[in-house]
Structures are given as C-alpha cells and as structure tokens.
Amino acid sequence: MEHFNNLVSRNDVLSINPTVADIDITTGASSWLWAVFAIMVFTMLITMGWAFTIPPGQRTFHYLTIAILGTASVAYFSLAADLGATAIPVEYLHGDTNPRATRSIWYVRYIDWVITTPLLLLELLLVSGLPLSAIFGTVFADEVMIITGLVGALVPSTYKWGYFTFGNVAMFGVFYVLYGPGLASARRHGGEIKKTYVTGAAILSFLWFCYPIAWGLCDGSNTISPAGEMVFYGVLDILAKPVFAMIHLFSMRKVDYAALGLQSGKATDFPDTEKAGAHSSGVGAGTLKTAEANGNHSPEATVAGHQ
C-alpha cells in the first residue's frame, strides 16, 4: 500500500493536463488508469509473440486481439493522462451546491468501444459459422449501441435516457443473434467449435450487460464519482478484452480453422500450390496436343484437353 501511495504521489498528470470539469478524476484514479494501460500493453505484446508461434494462415483471432488491445492501450493512455474528455452539465446534482456543476464525459472511451466491440463480436461470431450477412447486421447493431451511448452521455437533459433506451434495444438485438442464430449454428458444428462459442458468448454477454449499469450510475445519473467510474469501467474492460481474449485464444487451439472456412487462401501459405498448378496445366496441354496429332478434333477431345 505504501508503494502504491508513492506511485500516486509521483503522478503529476493533473498538474500537466488540468481537469476540465467540476466533477472530475483524481490523481489516484489516474494511477489506476495507468495500471490498466500497462495491462493492455502487456497482454498485446504477449499476443504478438504468440501469433508468431503458429502458421500465418491461422492467426486471424490473434490479429483481431492485437487490434483490440492496441486500440484499448491508446484509449487508456489518454484516460490516464486526463485527455479525451469534455465538460457536460449534470442533470442530477446529488447535493452539489453548484447548480451549474459539470462532469467530465470521456468521449475517448467511446471511440475505443466503437472500434473494439465490433472486433470482439467478430472474434466470437466467426466461430459460430454464421453467414457474413448476419455478422454484418450484428456489428451494425453494436455500433448503434455505442454511438447512442455517447450521444446520451453528451446530452445534459432528461432526453439522454431516450438514447440510453435506444442503446439497450440495440444491445438486446446483439444478444438475440448470439443466443439465437449464432448458438444454433455453433451447435450444428458441435465439438470444440460449440464449446468455444458457448463459453465466449456467456462471458461477453454477461460483461456487456454490466456496461449499461455502469453508464446509468456514472454518465447518466452522476451517482458514482469519476474515480469510481474509472474503476468500474476499467475492471469491465480488463475482463472484456485481455481476459476474454486469452480465454478465447486458448480455446481456439483445438478448433479446426478449415471447418470454419478461415484457413488462409494465400499462395504464400501453401508453397506447393504453384508446382501443383503447373503440373495440372502440363497434363492438359499434353492431352490436347495428343488429340490434335491423332487428328481427333471432336468436341469430346477438345473438352478432355482443357481438363
């Protein structure tokens, strides 16, 4: 505890980047955010190293995880440095004597989510075997969920709860796909695919259900202080990103990429492809020349030659 207090005392972020609102973060909250930033970066570096231990054609989920953690790292760097926020008048004062009190709303967090939550959905839905049309529709609903959350947080009046409602409707639309068509598709695959999908869907949906609760207590009603907000969202983000990603990647070790249609089709991943293609072309040309030499110009011979 003493060591943590020493770290906090050396954190001079708020003297370099002053707070922008009456109700804002503390030095202790900034130190917590630096810790979350370190977790995001550390997990990203581990994932990058892990990706190089597997064939290039099987790195889809590792690359998605790297993108998620890289984006979250930038976001938490901004949060810890007290950047990426704007002051919004609060609707509920909760005893504050200043009738025009403002609270910091961290739009950088929503920029993070609008990038990372679709990637998290891709990590999960690509395992389900759903068609791309269903996946794109689910990603759109997710984007609506995040954007309406941001707009609601920036609205100082009661109308913010309208956007909160829109966001929740979109969230339950995402859950419908996860536990409806997505689960049905994963069950048809069975085995490790089903197990991996069910585990991922359970973790992600539970954590995502907690985010509107945090929004209502923090951005919406000003019930929890910004310092408490950072702890609440920080814990959720750690569980929903590095922890979820590690569990998901570990589960994917036993999944057959070919069964999901995710094996890379690049020729560089299959060095024998060019040789095999040249051999096939040679046989076809030889058959055609033989037919011509024998004076056989029938349609059947021509078709056989091109085969």
What pLDDT is stored for residue 5 in this prediction? 52
Distance CA 265, CA 274 (A): 13
Residue 62: phi, psi to the nearest 5?
Answer: -70, -40
Distance CA 209, CA 207 (A): 5
Residue type, 243: V
> Is residue 272 packed enough to be buried (19+ CB in 10 Å), middle (13-18) or exposed (0-12)?
exposed
Q: Which CATH number is associated with domain 2-260?
A: 1.20.1070.10
What pLDDT is stored for residue 279 in this prediction? 47
pTM, to two decimals: 0.81
Distance CA 259, CA 252 (A): 12
4-57 pLDDT, tens digit per residue, is: 455 556 789 999 999 999 999 999 999 999 999 999 999 999 999 999 998 888
Alpha helices of the chain — where are they, by DSSP H?
A: 2-10, 13-16, 27-51, 60-80, 107-128, 132-154, 160-179, 181-189, 191-215, 226-238, 244-252, 257-260, 273-293, 299-306
Of residues 134 and 283, more confidently modeled = 134
Residue 104 bridge partners (DSSP): 87
Q: Do 277 and 241 form a contact (C-beta atoms < 8 A)? A: no
Domain boundaries, the chain: 2-260, 274-306
214-268 pLDDT, tens digit per residue, is: 999 999 999 999 999 999 999 999 999 999 999 999 998 877 777 776 655 454 4
User: Is the per-residue pLDDT at 292 higher than 50?
Assistant: no
